[in-house]
Chains A and B, each alone.
Chain A
Amino acid sequence: KNEVEQSPQNLTAQEGEFITINCSYSVGISALHWLQQHPGGGIVSLFMLSSGKKKHGRLIATINIQEKHSSLHITASHPRDSAVYICAVRSAIQGAQKLVFGQGTRLTINP
């Protein structure tokens, strides 16, 4: 079992729909990242969370440390939101710096 599991693996929705992508992890963490990757490979960091909730525009990220679970929500989805969304965690072990990634969720928003 991977340390970081995302669901769903693929998600297709209509423009305007509310989107939720889930991330569960099995290790103690110091931080969780949500990342966006467009075709061509470039990765953009959307959020870094260690507790609670963060909002940026139409994107909202939440984390429940006790349940080892995070969600990424997109409100009023738009075709330009189509991308792969990746959850990644940084271990709570002192000195740990590397990220462990989920396999990604491929989101397609149809007009």
Chain B
Amino acid sequence: DTGVSQDPRHKITKRGQNVTFRCDPISEHNRLYWYRQTLGQGPEFLTYFQNEAQLEKSRLLSDRFSAERPKGSFSTLEIQRTEQGDSAMYLCASSYGGLDGYTFGSGTRLTVV
């Protein structure tokens, strides 16, 4: 297992376009998390899945954001009608049972121009 994979690593998009990011967690991990990190700040929680169920969403996740984990394996995070304020690093992490430490992916850096 190669850890948590995120794709793409970098994305530059024009304001108003839609973007989709993918996260492949560690295969045995049933929990998957999305976080957002802006420059100079610590990550902020966006949403969390246990298997395919989305159990918690942050108020940061506006109507333009949607996340799915259809088969309880990989997850996608879509941002519609991107805004410059969406520019950030989007981090995915996974864990098993909540008792183990998290494993983070390398992140997707989004730049909205």
The residues in B between 38 and 67 inclusive whose CB is less than 8 angstroms from any CB of A are 40-45, 48, 50, 55-56, 58
- In the bound complex, residues from chain B placing their C-beta under 8 Å from that of A41 are 37, 89, 91, 106-107, 109
> Which of B45, B55, B109 sits near A99, CB closer than 8 Å?
B45
- In the bound complex, residues from chain A placing their C-beta under 8 Å from that of B69 are none
User: Nearest Cβ distance between residue B19 and chain A, in whole angstroms?
Assistant: 17
Q: Are A40 and B41 in contact (CB under 8 A)?
A: no
> Which of B55, B58, B101 sits near A48, CB closer than 8 Å?
B101
- In the bound complex, residues from chain B placing their C-beta under 8 Å from that of A103 are 40-42
- In the bound complex, residues from chain B placing their C-beta under 8 Å from that of A33 are 101-102
- Is A42 among interface residues, defined by CB-CB distance under 8 A? yes
- Is A107 among interface residues, defined by CB-CB distance under 8 A? no
Residues of B that sit less than 8 Å from A by CB: 31, 33, 35, 37, 40-45, 48, 50, 55-56, 58, 89, 91, 93, 95, 98, 100-107, 109
Residues of A that sit less than 8 Å from B by CB: 4, 33, 35, 40-45, 47-48, 86, 88, 97-104
